[in-house]
Structure 1
């Protein structure tokens, strides 16, 4: 069944309030009060069998007595009656419902069963349901207050281009109130609660298609439908609408960590980080960050690159902003020499590099500051500008001059992103905001917002990612049983990844013959499907390069395996070339319970073990996403060569990651985890030296 759109929920023409109250301060009365006073243009039908009227409106004993079709029903009845009420609404043909009622899956098993019944009613009838256990929805410019939050009283700024969606009703209310105080123009607001039907992802997708909505703020504690979330984020990216997301909570991967190094690194929010990076989402860590970034985005001016000019009346603050910009990946490039020279002629006492410190003395002659700003914008070649003025714009002697300077600048350069740091009254700040100038009191927060604007600009320019490589016709499937290293490498090789030269042998004489064939130092490894971590039992011997040592080492490994794992199946000993040079990486796959197969890439050694310097992306993906994974590593510079080492083949690494993602996606139902550790990236090519494949326990045979 095709899911009906959310229009009846966000733009209803008629509303029934079931459990309606005469008292505006009660849950069943607040929404009626808000709609009556907020200009709702549709019909309102209170439902209360004990009253003839509610807040001056005729009341009805049940939804069945309401004389007209109903787009949305607000349900404010006890949990014991809620299922019957939902069934009555479905029978009556109500198109959507908002369930304030709590006491369902968040409470106990009986509540969970009742919630499942509500889900079935909604699915079979096509009625869209928000909640249960939610605070509701609203659309401010329509006077639609399907909530018991007193949004009407808390509204401080006119409706604007921001849409909020939150699983948590309380946090959603808090976010709206903080946004109002920050000057963020919210219009659409949805809380999803227990998500029996409508979830955060679907609301994001709906927002992506609303013409007058330009920025999306989202909060979630968990995601149940990864496919829907990815479609929603892709739709927002295609519509060039920033998504600012706060995701809290962790993913439990402890059960898989014992078998897979990759799984151990996938804990907490690493995979969500990767998915958000993949779709261009800005992940906020605090409410302040979320609101500040949305505030900057609502002005709709995005820089074309990362070159940032810093202009200031304080040299010290300029240095602070330059440091903050560098930490956030912005380019605080020096002012072009000819422009700097002209500035110096205009303001001899100014520092004219970048930051440009025109000092407070420039205010003695405002035309000089205006010329300075104009030169920076017109000749500096910068993509965005931050200007620190402290309290100067609100001083009696400079208030009008500053307004004239920025009014002239905006008239001449209507589309240039300029962020202003000033401490002024709310009324004066509103004047600057009318000029399209985001205003901040903290210089570092202004720089953070500028970096966020640059992030979204890059996302929109980049657009949809490349298609993944085509699967190889001869690629093998993940087997249903555990396999040893040599078999795992054969599977990986069939998927298009290079593996080290090696031979499986069953005697010391064959080990020596394999060493001669390889013609160089070798590693000997015990091969057993029952011994996943060979180094833990001394099952790996390295840099063997003479006949006697190779011969003796074979017996040593067999003896160690028998002593450490009596009864383990021993397939033999692997004689493998020692791959020298290059950079050791860790590459792998883990099956996430929400996002399915996700690919991991990290630099080997201490950077993985201690710093967890890794990147995750959801499979499948193309080489452009793979390159972004590599670029996201904190130790990325190692790949360019350090201390005389040559640079390595990053393109070969990206190709391998993309091919591995295709293999992982094709085996999503069969693969629990996969480790290629080490995966060595060479000056020319990249090769897997070790491989571990862990099938899913429920993998079909």
Structure 2
């Protein structure tokens, strides 16, 4: 009943009537707080306390059950002891309540009987179509409706400003803390929910609902673990299609953090690097700190239009802070291009002792002549051609008269350059900040945070452009072989991959020394000689690889050496012989791999060969399958990619062929998701531009069910 459940979710977030199970006359208790909070707001719906022990609660008529209520009930807030929750939800179902928020604890998070109670809640939700948030959650909020369906002290006194940001948190305490920060910073909020144990409504459901919500532009999420890949991917895809900007914090990147997250949610945590790749794949900005989470969300909610590029102009009243901002811009990959020479001369003519290059230093002269503000902006935007300008004004925002004069000039600039983004960094009173924000200008206290926000806007603009470009995964060739059901040797593995469109090296599997010598003569020296055995997946560990054998004498000696090593180091291994392949003389060694993630299934990996993978873990991930554009993005994310550009006279590598190979590996893995545990193409040598690339070695590990 998908349509029924979707409608029920709308009733839960946008209710016209609310029932309160366990309603208390004491507003200090969990059962009393939500009712007390909502009574103090402008909520225009009906409120129904449910408590069979009382005829009245907090001045409102009380009911023994929801069925005793005459009118319809859209939403219920449940705050009764755990043993009584299921009965309350059954009452809701009989009343055809749209959704319930279960604040009560004592379920999967404590184990034992709690697990069984939570299983029954899930079964009820599936059977009836009623949506259930929680249990063990902090509740939900609709700011525009004045619905404070929560007991967190952060909601006391309301004080929330309607805005275009909606937040979902798997952690109740974190969600409450975020609510306090939102109030403190005066950030506009639309919807807020914490999902708790996720017996029914989970993180992905909320992201999907926000994606379809017309009053939400920015989705903020706090996630600890995901257990359903498909639902999350569908939600992120819908959000991207709807043009929503998503900013998320994913915890559990350290071993200790991952353990804490898993024990807290009783969920299976996937690899942190996989989450990182997934977020990049779907245009999600991953924040590493709480400040970053809300700085970026705030900037996205106020940005008038996406920046056209990453040219950043820096305007300042302090040379030192200008240098600080320039350093931050470099760290974030922004282009702090200097002003044109003629524009610099014009700026010097206005203020002879100014710094006109970029950062442009107006100096404290701005206080004596506020018209410098508009003049500098006009020159920077018109002649400098900057997509974004970040202006540092020190504490001007604490002087209302001066800040108002500057705002009037800024409005003229905004009207003239409607396609540009302007960010102000200054200490400001709440009143001044609101005036600037009303004009469409974001205000940051600290200048480097303003620069980081600018870089985030550029990244969103790039991701949006990438999403609009067609990036369908390439089709598998008609003759593609299925994934193996048993272990393969190297040659067999490469045969399977070659059928999927991945280029592999010419090679011969020789069963005898004479056969190897004949093959080497046909292929041409120098050659590589490698042990072929399904029992030795990592040949280098037994000394099973010899390179650059120059002639037949070296080849025959090499054959005997390999056979002796295997006999000594892997005496029980089954041998198919040895692989003879020509040496690839030029190219950059890379690694293309696939690992089966417990949550997301086949995940494709890319990295540069050698120490970049082993020592620095310099790799990028994507959830399979992907298209060539996403594969190119993976290449760009790897720090060692500079090796592909051509160094010390070497030609640039064929990145197009590399991206196509990555995409094809991802498609093969996705098509055979149920049968593959991992794929390792190491190395995949990328030849000079226009010459393609070639897999020199490969390993496919079948999945054992």
Q: 1:157 to 1:99 in 2, by over 3 A?
A: closer
Corresponding residue number in structure 1 for 2:174? 171
Preserved contact between residue 180 and residue 186 of structure 1 (Cα < 8 Å): no
**Residues 661-682 of structure 1, C-alpha deviation per residue, up to 9 Å, x if partnerless?**
1101101001111100111000
- Which segments of 5 or more consecutive residues in structure 2 lack a partner in the other structure? 256-268
Q: In the alignment, does 2:594 pair up with 1:589?
A: yes
Q: In the alignment, does 2:100 pair up with 1:93?
A: no
Corresponding residue number in structure 2 for 1:394? 398
Preserved contact between residue 161 and residue 186 of structure 2 (Cα < 8 Å): no
Corresponding residue number in structure 2 for 1:538? 543
Structure 1 residue runs of 4 or more that deviate by more than 6 Å after TM superposition = none
- Which segments of 5 or more consecutive residues in structure 1 lack a partner in the other structure? 253-265
Corresponding residue number in structure 2 for 1:260? none
Q: In the alignment, does 2:410 pair up with 1:403?
A: no
Q: In the alignment, does 2:70 pair up with 1:63?
A: no
Which of 209, 229, 232 matches 2:232?
229
Q: Distance in 2 between matches of 1:202 and 1:144?
A: 20
TM-score by length of 2: 0.94
Q: Distance in 2 between matches of 1:327 and 1:564?
A: 49
Q: 1:244 to 1:154 in 2, by over 3 A?
A: farther
TM-superposed CA distance for 1:381, in Å, is 0.8
> Alignment RMSD, CA only?
1.7
Q: In the alignment, does 2:245 pair up with 1:213?
A: no
Q: Distance in 1 between matches of 2:317 and 2:521?
A: 73
Corresponding residue number in structure 1 for 2:293? 290
Corresponding residue number in structure 2 for 1:629? 634
Preserved contact between residue 77 and residue 100 of structure 2 (Cα < 8 Å): yes
Q: In the alignment, does 2:602 pair up with 1:580?
A: no
Corresponding residue number in structure 2 for 1:2? 2
Q: Distance in 2 between matches of 1:571 and 1:403?
A: 78
Q: 1:470 to 1:400 in 2, by over 3 A?
A: closer
Which of 471, 475, 478 matches 2:480?
475
Q: 1:509 to 1:300 in 2, by over 3 A?
A: same
Corresponding residue number in structure 2 for 1:103? 106
Q: Distance in 1 between matches of 2:159 and 2:315?
A: 31
Q: Distance in 2 between matches of 1:367 and 1:79?
A: 65
Corresponding residue number in structure 1 for 2:327? 323
Corresponding residue number in structure 2 for 1:432? 436
Corresponding residue number in structure 2 for 1:455? 459
Q: Distance in 2 between matches of 1:627 and 1:635?
A: 14
Report matched runs for 1:501-520 at 5 Å: 501-520=506-525
Query: Secondary structure of 1:26's match?
Result: coil
Preserved contact between residue 421 and residue 442 of structure 1 (Cα < 8 Å): yes
Q: In the alignment, does 2:691 pair up with 1:687?
A: no
Q: Distance in 2 between matches of 1:307 and 1:483?
A: 52
Q: In the alignment, does 2:571 pair up with 1:566?
A: yes
Q: Distance in 1 between matches of 2:163 and 2:157?
A: 15
Report matched runs for 1:179-190 at 5 Å: 179-190=182-193
Query: Secondary structure of 1:351's match?
Result: coil
Q: Distance in 2 between matches of 1:397 and 1:282?
A: 37
TM-superposed CA distance for 1:694, in Å, is 0.9
TM-superposed CA distance for 1:399, in Å, is 4.1
- Farther-moved stretch of structure 1 (174-183 vs 614-623): 174-183
**Residues 232-263 of structure 1, C-alpha deviation per residue, up to 9 Å, x if partnerless?**
111111222110001112599xxxxxxxxxxx
Q: Distance in 1 between matches of 2:372 and 2:575?
A: 82
Q: 1:575 to 1:251 in 2, by over 3 A?
A: farther
TM-superposed CA distance for 1:152, in Å, is 4.3
**Residues 251-299 of structure 1, C-alpha deviation per residue, up to 9 Å, x if partnerless?**
99xxxxxxxxxxxxx9841111111111110000111110111111111
Query: Secondary structure of 1:390's match?
Result: coil
TM-score by length of 1: 0.95
Which of 495, 499, 511 matches 2:504?
499
